Amino acid sequence: MRSKKNIKFAALAVFLVMVLVAAVPFWLDRSTTALVHDLRAELEQQQRVDSILDMLRDAETGQRGFIITGNEVFLEPWRHAEQALPAAIREAKDKAGSDAERANLRHIARLAELKLAELDETIAVRRAEGFAKTAQTVGSMRGKAYMDELRRLVAARHVRTEARRAELRTEMLAASRRSFMVSLAATLINICVFGALLVVLARMLRERRDTALQLEHKAEQLASAVEVGTRQNRELRIVAEMLRAVEAMPSSLDTGAVVARGFARLLPGAGGTFFALDGDDEGTLHQLSRWGDASAQPSEMTQDDCWALQHGTQYKTSGCDRPSCAHYRSHGGDGKGGMRLCVPLVTHDELIGLVHLEDLAREAGVREEQEQLAVTVAEQLALALGNARLRESLRRQSVLDPLTGLFNRRYFDETLRRELARSRRMASPLSLVVLDVDHFKRVNDGFGHAAGDAVLRAIAQLVRQSIRYCDVACRYGGEELVILMPDCAQSDALRRAESLRADIAGAPPMNDGAGPDTITASFGVAEFPLHGPDAEALFRAADQAMYRAKREGRNRVVRAAQP
């Protein structure tokens, strides 16, 4: 009787440990999801704070243009900031996650109000008393002090955000390690309990032979469970390593080698091909990697080429039992023996990619385990790739102007500082071109803002076609664009700017009279260190040259004045 109680206790312990092992991946997934949510919230809040600073920068830029020229067109960013800043600050406060963050946002809001008030004052002085009196007001340096404090606060917030991101990554690694340790401990406990159970079975063999035979059968089952648990632990560890590597990749299109290595370890002896959907090429999947003795596959394929993609679920073939997919039939792979399995990678009803496996085991039991493992891993891989694509999208949105597709002012400021430092180290020239569309307000007033947007997109396309791969083109604000040209002297920059000016002036008119017949732009060109020792001075020199081109008749390229 006591032996039976011991057997029941040991079986219960094994069951509890196996339940713990099965629960580990679900616990790890929930913990990882919560950490990713926290990281996303941090990034979104940082973008809100950055947008507040960007609006103030744009307003300050418009103020400068108005002070210099007296032209009311330059006040459009200031008016936009007057209207949009309160809502942006209110949203940032609502999304604050702590009292310290709300206090920091109140400080930022106060500085933003002071800065707007200073802008209002200088604009009013310029309107009422002219440029000279305005220069005295600007010379008080109040506005600069407000912006410097704002930049300091935003920079400090960037540091805190990066520290929080590092903390979240550390927590994710710690969760993975805890999962591994729990799985290892569970396996050891399984082994210990199994050993104890064998001792009890040996005692009962001396008492009743029939009972011993039954217990031996149970022992074999437990041994099989331990083996399965050990294999599952190994598979979980490999999957976790693969998902971590996918998360660490800078782009979802760089994950081919990671996926190939992971599936080769999970399914030894089987070959396969990994396809991913390029976000910029909707509907076309690109081959990123192959492993094992995989047959020839196309470098690109559409959803019509695969039954799994058409049906939205895994699809398997063996010989000629079922119709073959076109993506390997058309490349001479249909006659190869062994089981084939196509598993689509789908997350939130969005297609991410496809994993094609071949040479799976012929034994039905082993093959079913391989298929189940492949489908489970594909689900986790789809989630990881979906998160990676989301991060890529957020990174692109943070540095690209949505209208023109050029880089935004934030990216330009960072790149200009970096390229100036490199130019100093290498003693190489660095040229800056500032261009502004002539009479752009007339386009908006005469043809509508949609035509104005189309003009900006057309000019941005001409700019992209004219620059080198190492040049950086940005929309600085409104209709003003900037081009940063590393390793380019001013003489070459002038020649290239003149060529771009001619391309813009010679561009064909918009269809159906939807826009002006001709568009021209005025250019200012400056070179570092000839026209300025730092970023602010260099930009000011190019900007003043552009305004001189405006005063001299527009549609021309002007060299910055010698300091």
Structure confidence at residue 462 (pLDDT): 92
- Whether residue 113 is contained in a domain is answered as yes
Please tell me the distance from the alpha carbon of residue 271 to that of residue 355, in angstroms, as a whole number: 11
Which region among 18-27, 363-372, 525-534, 548-557 has the lowest average model confidence (pLDDT)?
A: 18-27
Please tell me the distance from the alpha carbon of residue 45 to that of residue 557, in angstroms, as a whole number: 41
| Same domain as 485, residue 450 | yes
> What CATH code is carried by the domain that includes residue 510?
3.30.70.270
| Same domain as 430, residue 381 | no
Distance of CA 149 to the CA centre of its chain: 29
Q: Using the Cα atoms of residue 547, residue 553, residue 559 and residue 561 in order, give the sign of their dihedral.
A: negative
What is the pLDDT confidence band of residue 335, given thresholds at 50, 70 and 90? very low
| Same domain as 359, residue 424 | no
- Whether residue 175 is contained in a domain is answered as no
- Whether residue 306 is contained in a domain is answered as yes
Which region among 11-25, 206-220, 340-354 has the lowest average model confidence (pLDDT)?
A: 11-25
Structure confidence at residue 551 (pLDDT): 93
| Same domain as 159, residue 50 | yes
DSSP string of 174-193?
HHHHHHHHHHHHHHHHHHHH
| Same domain as 426, residue 350 | no
Q: Which of 150, 169, 188 is the last residue in one of the domains? A: 169
What is the pLDDT confidence band of residue 313, given thresholds at 50, 70 and 90? confident
| Same domain as 413, residue 385 | no
Instruction: Decide the pairing of beta strands 430-437 and 480-486.
Output: antiparallel
Averaged pLDDT for residues 383-391: 77
What is the pLDDT confidence band of residue 27, given thresholds at 50, 70 and 90? low
> What CATH code is carried by the domain that includes residue 147?
1.20.120
Strand intervals (E) in 213-320 = 271-277, 284-291, 300-302, 315-318
- Whether residue 49 is contained in a domain is answered as yes
Structure confidence at residue 428 (pLDDT): 92
- Whether residue 319 is contained in a domain is answered as yes
Q: Which residues pair with 482 in a beta bridge?
A: 434, 474
Averaged pLDDT for residues 241-251: 76
pLDDT at 320 over 60: no
| Same domain as 386, residue 294 | yes
> Taking CA 13 as the corner, what is the angle to CA 7 and CA 14, rounded to the nearest 5 degrees?
90
pLDDT at 319 over 60: no
| Same domain as 465, residue 380 | no
Average pLDDT, the chain: 80
- Whether residue 154 is contained in a domain is answered as yes
Token pair belonging to 108: 């930022």
Cβ count within 10 A of residue 177: 11
Domain that holds residue 334: 268-390
Ramachandran bin of 359, using left for φ above 0, alpha for ψ from -120 to 50, beta for the remaining angles? left
Quick: pLDDT tens for 137-178.
777 777 777 778 888 888 877 887 788 778 877 877 777 777
DSSP 3-state percent helix, strand, coil across the chain (nearest 5): 65, 15, 20
Quick: pLDDT tens for 452-508.
899 999 999 999 999 888 899 999 988 999 999 999 999 999 999 999 999 999 888
| Same domain as 508, residue 370 | no
- Whether residue 68 is contained in a domain is answered as yes
pLDDT at 26 over 80: no
Q: Which of 116, 137, 169 is the last residue in one of the domains? A: 169
Distance of CA 139 to the CA centre of its chain: 42
Averaged pLDDT for residues 422-426: 92
Averaged pLDDT for residues 189-202: 66
Contact in structure between 525 and 431 (CB atoms under 8 Å) = yes
Structure confidence at residue 193 (pLDDT): 60
Quick: pLDDT tens for 60-110.
788 778 778 878 888 888 888 888 888 888 887 777 777 777 777 788 888
Which region among 9-18, 75-84, 131-140 has the lowest average model confidence (pLDDT)?
A: 9-18
Q: To the nearest 10°, report the CA torsion of 65, 68, 73, 75.
A: 60
Please count the structural domains in the chain.
Answer: 3
Share of the chain above pLDDT 70, in %: 84
Q: What are phi and psi of 245, to 5 degrees?
A: -65, -40
Token pair belonging to 435: 């261009």
Q: Which of 152, 169, 186 is the last residue in one of the domains? A: 169
The DSSP call for residue 74 is G
> What CATH code is carried by the domain that includes residue 346?
3.30.450.40
| Same domain as 425, residue 386 | no
- Whether residue 205 is contained in a domain is answered as no
Structure confidence at residue 183 (pLDDT): 66
Structure confidence at residue 72 (pLDDT): 82
Structure confidence at residue 425 (pLDDT): 92
Strand intervals (E) in 278-408 = 284-291, 300-302, 315-318, 339-347, 350-360
Of residues 393 and 1, which shows the higher confidence score?
393
The DSSP call for residue 357 is E
Quick: pLDDT tens for 268-283.
878 888 988 876 556 7
Cβ count within 10 A of residue 104: 19
Structure confidence at residue 3 (pLDDT): 57
Q: Which helix (H) or strand (E) holds 471?
A: none
Quick: pLDDT tens for 507-557.
887 766 677 888 999 999 999 988 888 999 999 999 999 999 999 999 999
Structure confidence at residue 307 (pLDDT): 82
Which region among 34-38, 309-313, 546-550 has the lowest average model confidence (pLDDT)?
A: 34-38
Q: Which residues pair with 524 in a beta bridge?
A: 434, 558
| Same domain as 385, residue 291 | yes
Contact in structure between 480 and 463 (CB atoms under 8 Å) = no
Averaged pLDDT for residues 367-377: 84
| Same domain as 491, residue 427 | yes
Q: What is the CA radius of gyration of the chain?
A: 33
